Structure 1
Amino acid sequence: MTARFQSITPGARLSDRVAEALAAEIRAGRLVAGEKLPTEAALVEQFGVSRTVVREAVSRLKSLGLVDSRQGSGMYVCEAGFAPLSFDARYAGSKAAVIQMVEVRRALEAEVAALAAQRRTAADVRRIRSAMAALAKAVRAGGDGASEDVAFHRAIADAARNPFLMDTLQYLGQFLYGTTRVTRANEARRADFARQVADEHRAIVEAIDAGDPAKARLAASNHMDNAIRRIEQADPAFWQQEGEALARPLTGRMPVPS
């Protein structure tokens, strides 16, 4: 690998900043498809962060479909099937951009949930419930649960068994993850919001477990409608303090670590 990274200045969410730096190298073509990522130890040294931070960063890249693991060999850059998305910079960090991405999620997640209800196996349901439990655990530990939320919805998508839907979700992965970070951060500020989200997730899971596509579709659609409502009801201070910064990656322009 030819890229050299600067140490990350200590601050919040170091793993996201490491992931963003690596993602920028991949999208710029300096880390090419099929190329092996540096070892964990090398990334720790180059970024000046802990092994835990590096592992979380690589896990995020994997969830976005940018890298994949090869057993006993390491992590490799994935083939890019499409050019990366890029949106007009004037929408960067705006509440409207977040709401519009949730509208995209609503169209996808509703159909995914319905298909999952039709096609799920007992093993699928166990994985979905395990992901929901992991999300609840992360929230109890004081986190916003963004990564766990993405994993929960990914488990539902896996149960739908539609490779085209999966490819679409993977293609949109960066933006769906960014939207989830914003909605989760907002919801973490209010106990009533957090309870609503947990209840909505349970409703989706119960409908899938019951094999009821119509109910699952409605539960997933309602979940996204309510996510929009919660964004609209967010304290203005949230956008001034966190929302704008968290929403910025929705433009497809990753910030450069300082």
Structure 2
Amino acid sequence: MVIEKLEIKKVSDRVGEQLEKMIIYGTFQAGEKLPSVRELCELFGVGRSAVRDAITVLKGKGFVDVKQGDGTYVCGFDSTKLFKQTNIPVDTKDLTELFQVRKIMETGMVEIAAKTRNNSDISKMKETLSLTNVNGWEADYQFHKLIAVATGNVIFIQLSEFISDSMKQTMIDFYRYIENQEQTILKINQQHEQLVSFIELGNALAAKEMMTEHLLFVEDLFLQSLKKVPR
């Protein structure tokens, strides 16, 4: 059994992640002044140093502008920032929204991949799946990104990387949750293998239907894992 090291985050990192999400999702709008350090301390239940450190990191990422003697303001949102962010904390609402996007995007991607794939794409997919029993979450993570690569569409690749990176920690927790569920792991592996088979055969419709079935199946399991795996 592969044991994943537990990630220990500083309080300031957690504060920064929450503020970043609030900016991305519009709780704080572009041009809006953030609450004072004192108010943020009360909001998050943390000390002043944690808030100050979090704001410094957000400033470095371009999310906020600190005006000496005035306060901290949210910068105009640049959508390209979104696709550079990883480790965004995922809760039930986030996960549901991510799967809504995945069910639209990945069914379309796999349909295109079945028409555009080459021998190298198929070889890489099969090689990745052969490693599933060794590094389950990582093989799964890479497999879905390889489908995007097989489309040859740069935007699909970037979107896929963003979604995969956003779900990385959740996937690690998910595979920890199912590690003793042999039938579940077997079904996921079989679905992945069928996807590769349909892509290789160029059967776009069957690949699309299988991806839909696969995402519906794993979405339910992911939601279960969020409730049962300590975070």
What TM-score bracket applies, with the shorter chain setting the length? 0.5 to 0.7
Number of matched residues? Answer: 168
| Partner residue in 1 for 2:198 | 207
| Partner residue in 2 for 1:63 | none
- The reply on whether 1:221 has 2:179 as its aligned counterpart is no
Unaligned runs of 5+ in 1: 1-10, 33-79, 86-91, 139-144, 246-258
Cα shift at 1:189: 3.9
Q: Deviations over 1:189-220 (max 9, x none)?
A: 41121111011101111100111111111111
Asked if structure 1 preserves the Cα contact closer than 8 Å seen for 2:145 and 2:161, the reply is no
* Distance in 1 (alpha carbons) for counterparts of 2:200 and 2:127: 13
Asked if structure 2 preserves the Cα contact closer than 8 Å seen for 1:146 and 1:181, the reply is yes
Cα shift at 1:182: 4.3
Unaligned runs of 5+ in 2: 18-53, 63-77, 84-88
- The reply on whether 1:239 has 2:231 as its aligned counterpart is no
| Partner residue in 2 for 1:110 | 107
Cα shift at 1:166: 1.3
Residues 62-211 of structure 1 aligned to structure 2 (within 5 Å): 82-84=80-82, 94-138=91-135, 145-211=136-202
Residues 12-91 of structure 1 aligned to structure 2 (within 5 Å): 13-14=5-6, 28=58, 30=60, 82-84=80-82
Query: Taking structure 1 as reference, are residues 17 and 132 closer, same or farther at Cα in structure 2, changes over 3 Å only?
Result: farther
* Distance in 1 (alpha carbons) for counterparts of 2:152 and 2:200: 15
* Distance in 1 (alpha carbons) for counterparts of 2:196 and 2:215: 15
Query: Which residue type is aligned with residue 83 of structure 1?
Result: K
Asked if structure 2 preserves the Cα contact closer than 8 Å seen for 1:103 and 1:224, the reply is no
* Distance in 1 (alpha carbons) for counterparts of 2:91 and 2:167: 15
Query: Taking structure 1 as reference, are residues 224 and 207 closer, same or farther at Cα in structure 2, changes over 3 Å only?
Result: same
Two-structure CA RMSD over aligned residues (Å): 3.4
Query: Which residue type is aligned with residue 127 of structure 2?
Result: S
Query: Taking structure 1 as reference, are residues 183 and 241 closer, same or farther at Cα in structure 2, changes over 3 Å only?
Result: closer
Query: Taking structure 1 as reference, are residues 152 and 16 closer, same or farther at Cα in structure 2, changes over 3 Å only?
Result: farther
**TM-score scaled by length of structure 2:** 0.60
Query: Which residue type is aligned with residue 28 of structure 1?
Result: L
Asked if structure 2 preserves the Cα contact closer than 8 Å seen for 1:110 and 1:218, the reply is yes
| Structure showing greater relative contact order (alpha-carbon pairs closer than 8 Å, 6 or more residues apart) | 1
* Distance in 1 (alpha carbons) for counterparts of 2:99 and 2:170: 7
Cα shift at 1:188: 2.3
* Distance in 1 (alpha carbons) for counterparts of 2:105 and 2:180: 27
Query: Taking structure 1 as reference, are residues 231 and 166 closer, same or farther at Cα in structure 2, changes over 3 Å only?
Result: closer
